[in-house]
Structure 1
């Protein structure tokens, strides 16, 4: 409630024009490109002597060759297995000894590596990260055990999780041709066939400065960062990289529906996903209005809560999620679970009723204003997190947006109209381009 009140206050000031200048530059970053094509973004924050250093590669699980699902994630693991200068397993130990922390992540569209550390250790992590960008040297004795680690990760996160397995089935049904339908961690039978040779081929094809973005957030000045970037990354040669060529979706003409039963499920759930444009793919004009719509539907006092949860509604909880930043078409997802003693069919009927009313009547100006206020407040709060700020740019730039487009987010949100939200809803909420999934206990029909 406190967050909502603050957001409403901020939004009223913004809509009155009082804070427009403050919102015009969300992060006010510095951007430059090295001669080898490496894009560099700096988000200055001098409140504490800390830096968050990230390298994002414009490659992910959706760029894998057929039959090699999981190789992008496997390579992420192998990036910690040594170079001629940093022995296997020493990268993270060195960062920890210097008082920092590090990790990595893989998505469908990008792979990222990061360290958070004291500002006077920035050069250390830049030197090590640049080193493994082009000098990765993995021994077979390290590669084979790491493949088993990946298999165990899949077992713990997916195979031992009904919700994880259900999510895989939903994605596979959602995308008829596009590789977004493959799990990021990979299908188990394909992971088993991966090896060091395939991972290193993927590395040589995609890991290069001209296919990467360096993002640093924290207590460092532009001149200092440029000098360090030139010193450690600037000497890495450009190399030809494989262009992103992905099978695209054919027209989706039939609604899909799946039901999964599992004895481990204690809370039934309904999930419905619709194929949706992103900010760079499909009918891109709908992307920002869809972000506003997701807020209208899912906030604490939003439509889904009022119609499905409050009073005698059948749902224990309901929400909506939309990812606007993806290289190719994304999804708009709605999810809900029934209250004890209520049927999943009641929940689905209530959800259908919310969507029917939305498509018939549109949204109110009050709903629009409240959603914008929360989103604009979130843009302000994003300045408080070094990692959050860096991730905002990493996801956007690897998807194909520019720094200027990231900074323009508040203006784009403020410009959305109720009519645009309704138009976007009518474009997306087409059952022919949807998958409805039920995750149920073993004994429930």
Structure 2
């Protein structure tokens, strides 16, 4: 989405974001009485955490962090606000509330009418949007670099003073319900994955869908969402990431001017329930109207936590990432050759992924496949198990590992062509608490993974005691209702 010139251009002074309230009257109809706002902070010195020509990292006096990466290949800039709150921070009965708040952040502030934020970004020649997942919520604008101050002013305004009429919330609930229907309820594969997560995790908040269960979306209130905002949208729980044709010190001055005046607030203690050890195979089926059956196999795996000094569990997570690459990380990888080619093929599609990062402290190794026409699900499942056993018994070749690392290196390099991708990488590194530019460190560690380590994790983590299987079983469409009246 995009914002208009409510703030002066960089370096020209003026009132900036704090003039927004005068320039844009807030909507008054049915507007709730805003909570008392703390007085803006006086300017205070920021802390330099890292500073070079390639990357700068600062912490403002109120706790908000600022990450800047100059990229002068185009006269544009990506500005992102990351908040370290997602669906794992929700409570039972309010699933999806982090995502709902993401929607409501576009519905007004003390100085912006509903929908005004995006209209203004568009007038600046930019675009904007937002995203929510288990670990975080993010907001971004991509604009001409000359308009960076304007979007920083606007984002700081809504971050500090989000408010909206109750009728905006009532309307947006219906929007989110329809979003859930379109993305989950009417998409059998997405619904299967949702149910796989619910079966895989008994206690961890990862069992809840990010968009929320429909019953929760229908029952939480506008005040519930406002309370969630007040609880988590604090400067000490947020970071601003800017990538583009910018100077780090210039961005820092703008951040101090707009975000630095937001008073800090206390954050609640995070209470993320630990998942108890799984003690046996779990199996579910989803019977839905669908064109093809789908098989998902999720094995519990160790999380990747420490890139600076990896522990034994971290090395196992890295080896599982390498295993996923060997199995399906490039065209003609093991699963592709063994299961989808030739006259005896058993699958139309197959994939492996190691989901080992995230704040919950859990990891999964996921196998997914679509059986070939006429192939029983049991035969496909056995073929996947056999592929893992082959690695456990015979290992993988150094050539396979080298191919995987080459593929990762190429992907890392290609991502640098996109300012948005660079900003996403920096933001997720900050969310995880990893070093900035963790991809470079991760690639260096993956180069050190050996065939013996990959063979060891194939032996250690693929038992039925750690496995949850989900099957999508296609159902025939119900007969159409008879038309007219039978006489």
Compute the TM-score of the two structures, normalised by the length of structure 1: 0.90
CA drift of 1:28 comes to: 4.3
CA drift of 1:188 comes to: 0.7
* 1:338-381 C-alpha deviation (Å, 9 max, x unpaired): 22232222211211110111111111111111111111121111
The CA distance in 2 between the partners of 1:284 and 1:376, in whole Å, is 20
Specify the alignment match of 1:318 in structure 2: 350
* 1:193-251 C-alpha deviation (Å, 9 max, x unpaired): 11111001111110011101111111111111111111111111111012321111111
CA drift of 1:406 comes to: 4.4
Specify the alignment match of 2:327 in structure 1: 297
The CA distance in 2 between the partners of 1:426 and 1:90, in whole Å, is 56
Query: Does structure 1 retain, via aligned residues, the 8 Å contact 2:412–2:439?
Result: no
The CA distance in 2 between the partners of 1:430 and 1:339, in whole Å, is 26
Equivalent residue for 1:280, pick from 305, 318, 341: 305
Equivalent residue for 2:155, pick from 126, 129, 150: 129
Specify the alignment match of 1:152 in structure 2: 178
Check 1:426–1:397 CA distance in 2 against 1; reply closer, same or farther (3 A cut). Answer: farther
Query: Does structure 1 retain, via aligned residues, the 8 Å contact 2:106–2:117?
Result: yes
The CA distance in 2 between the partners of 1:169 and 1:83, in whole Å, is 37
Query: Does structure 1 retain, via aligned residues, the 8 Å contact 2:189–2:294?
Result: no
The CA distance in 1 between the partners of 2:184 and 2:195, in whole Å, is 11
Check 1:406–1:368 CA distance in 2 against 1; reply closer, same or farther (3 A cut). Answer: closer
1:193-208 mapped onto 2 (5 Å cutoff) = 193-208=219-234
Specify the alignment match of 2:415 in structure 1: 382
Specify the alignment match of 2:387 in structure 1: 354
Equivalent residue for 1:216, pick from 227, 235, 242: 242
Detail structure 1 runs of 4+ shifted over 3 Å in the superposition: 404-407
| Structure 1 unaligned spans of 5+ | 1-26
The CA distance in 2 between the partners of 1:28 and 1:411, in whole Å, is 19
Query: Does structure 2 retain, via aligned residues, the 8 Å contact 1:393–1:406?
Result: no
Q: How many residue pairs end up in the alignment?
A: 417
Query: Does structure 1 retain, via aligned residues, the 8 Å contact 2:389–2:458?
Result: no
Check 1:427–1:52 CA distance in 2 against 1; reply closer, same or farther (3 A cut). Answer: farther
* 1:372-402 C-alpha deviation (Å, 9 max, x unpaired): 1111121111211111111112122212222
The CA distance in 2 between the partners of 1:427 and 1:230, in whole Å, is 50
Specify the alignment match of 2:453 in structure 1: 420
Structure 2 residue matching 1:403: 3-state secondary structure:
coil
Specify the alignment match of 2:424 in structure 1: 391
| Structure 2 unaligned spans of 5+ | 1-52, 478-487
Aligned-residue RMSD, C-alpha: 1.7
Specify the alignment match of 1:47 in structure 2: 73
Query: Does structure 2 retain, via aligned residues, the 8 Å contact 1:48–1:219?
Result: yes
Check 1:146–1:403 CA distance in 2 against 1; reply closer, same or farther (3 A cut). Answer: same
The answer to whether 1:270 aligns with 2:295 is yes
Specify the alignment match of 1:233 in structure 2: 259
Structure 1 residue matching 2:447: 3-state secondary structure:
helix
Check 1:333–1:229 CA distance in 2 against 1; reply closer, same or farther (3 A cut). Answer: same
Specify the alignment match of 1:116 in structure 2: 142
The answer to whether 1:307 aligns with 2:332 is no
Compute the TM-score of the two structures, normalised by the length of structure 2: 0.83
Decide which structure has greater helix share.
1
Using CA pairs below 8 Å that are at least 6 residues apart, which structure has the higher relative contact order? 1
1:23-172 mapped onto 2 (5 Å cutoff) = 28-172=54-198
The CA distance in 2 between the partners of 1:243 and 1:48, in whole Å, is 42
CA drift of 1:422 comes to: 2.2
Structure 2 residue matching 1:120: 3-state secondary structure:
helix
CA drift of 1:407 comes to: 3.9
Specify the alignment match of 1:434 in structure 2: 467
The CA distance in 1 between the partners of 2:88 and 2:396, in whole Å, is 35
CA drift of 1:443 comes to: 5.4
Specify the alignment match of 2:397 in structure 1: 364
CA drift of 1:412 comes to: 1.3
Check 1:443–1:356 CA distance in 2 against 1; reply closer, same or farther (3 A cut). Answer: farther
Query: Does structure 2 retain, via aligned residues, the 8 Å contact 1:376–1:413?
Result: no
